[in-house]
Amino acid sequence: MPLLRFNRVSKSYASMPALTEVSLDVERGEFVALVGRSGCGKSTLLNVAGAMDFPTSGEVVLDGVVTSSLGEAALTLVRREKVGFIFQSFQLLASLSVVENVELPLLLARRRRARETALDSLSEVEMQGFAARLPYQLSGGEMQRVAIARALVHAPALLLADEPTGNLDSATGDAILQLLRRIADRRQTTILMATHSAEAAGMTDTVVRLRDGRVQDGGPA
């Protein structure tokens, strides 16, 4: 059973199709790149995969749970347990310190030992020395590492990354991609990454090409 299955999933916004009849299986520990032009449906696919949005039709199964049929409260629980997000613009809360940002998903889920787990997660991305800093005191690459630590802190089965290197220079972007590769290998975390970059796609196991909301082809990178 794949960790994530899209079965003929379609999604429209005000009758404008964003995804059309998308079928896709992603295995545990697989690092998948979603590539395609802007507006091709990459972000929509990530949102539907991450239980942030409902498909208009079709079925989404995440770790054995049919998320497309769940209500708002149940979807929140799925996100808390199974999904981590990384964004292009890092999305750290300016008023919280680095470690507070990282422990946030655990606090929202009312998990115990949040601080220790958050510090462990920061160590994993080599940011343990920055725990007390505020986001504006970090560089772009450092912010994205913190964002990755936050996405991993509750040990999700699925990590969704939307253009994680889009706001970074190439050297920093490479470092971030290597970090994601390591995470997929060491933790067996499934990663679904939307990207424009061919270099980024080259680091993944599988590349899925999207065009006008449809999967064009999928195969090894």
Partner 1 sequence: MNHAYLTIFYRLILRPLSRESVRTALTTAAVALGVAVVLAIELAGEAAAGSFRSSVETLAGRGDFEVTATGGVPAEALTRLALLPYALRLRPRIEDYAVVAATNRVVPFIGVDMLADGAHNAEDTGSSEFQRGDFIRVGKEAGWKTGDRVRLIVNDESAEYTVRGIVDGAGDAIVTDLAPAARLLGRGTMLDRILVDVPASRPLEQWEAILRAALPDGLTLAPQGARTEENRRMLGAFRWNLRVLSYIALVVGAFLIYNTISVSVVRRREEIGIMRALGATRVGVLGAFLLEAACLGLAGGIAGVALGRLMATASVRLVAATVESLYVSSTPAPIALSWGVALAGIAIGVLVSVVSAAAPAWEASRVAPVEAMARGRRDHDVRMHQWRDLGCGAALALAAWWASRQPAAGGKPLFGYLAGLLMIGASALAIPSLVSVVARATGAAAGRIFGVEALLASRSLAGSLRRTAVLVGALSTAIAMLSAVGIMVGSFRQTVLLWMEDRLQADLYLRPAGAPGTDRHPTIAADLAARLEAIPEVAAIDQFRAYEISYEGMPATLGGGDARIAGRYGRRAFLSGARPAEVFAQLAGHDRVIVSEAFANKHAVKRGDTLQLALGGRRAGFRVIDVYGDYSNERGYIIMDRGTLLKYLPDPAPSNVAVYLRPGTTLEDGRRAVETALAGRKVMIFTNRSLREEAIRVFDRTFAITYALEAVAVFVAVMGVAGALLALVIDRRREFGLLRFLGGSTGQIRRIILFEAGLLGLLANIAGVVLGFWLSLLLIFVINRQSFGWTIQFHWPVAVLVSALSMVYAATVLAALYPSQVAAKLVPIEVIHED
Residues that bind partner 1 (CB under 8 A): 43, 47, 50, 52-53, 72-73, 76, 79-80, 85, 87-89, 91, 93-96, 100, 104-105, 107-110, 134-136, 150, 154
β-bridge pairing 16-26 and 65-66: unpaired
- To partner 1, the closest distance from the beta carbon of 53 in angstroms equals 6
CB of 81 to partner 1, least distance (A): 8
Considering beta carbons, is residue 180 or 203 the nearer one to partner 1? 180
Residue 75 or residue 203: which is nearer to partner 1 going by CB? 75
Q: In whole angstroms, how close is the CB of 158 to partner 1 at the nearest point?
A: 13
CB 190 within 8 A of CB 30: yes
Q: At what angle do helices 114-124 and 98-108 cross, to 10 degrees?
A: 130
* Least gap, CB of 73 to partner 1 (angstroms): 7
CA distance 96 to 15: 40
How far is it, in rounded angstroms, from Cα 118 to Cα 159?
17
Q: Is 81 exposed, middle or buried (0-12, 13-18, 19+ CB in 10 A)?
A: middle
Q: Which is nearer to partner 1, 44 or 204 (CB)?
A: 44
Nearer to partner 1, 5 or 154 (CB): 154
Q: Which residues are within 8 A (CB) of 194 and not within 5 positions of it... i.e. 6 or more apart?
A: 33, 34, 35, 42, 43, 45, 46, 161, 162, 163
Q: CB nearer to partner 1: give 203 or 210.
A: 210
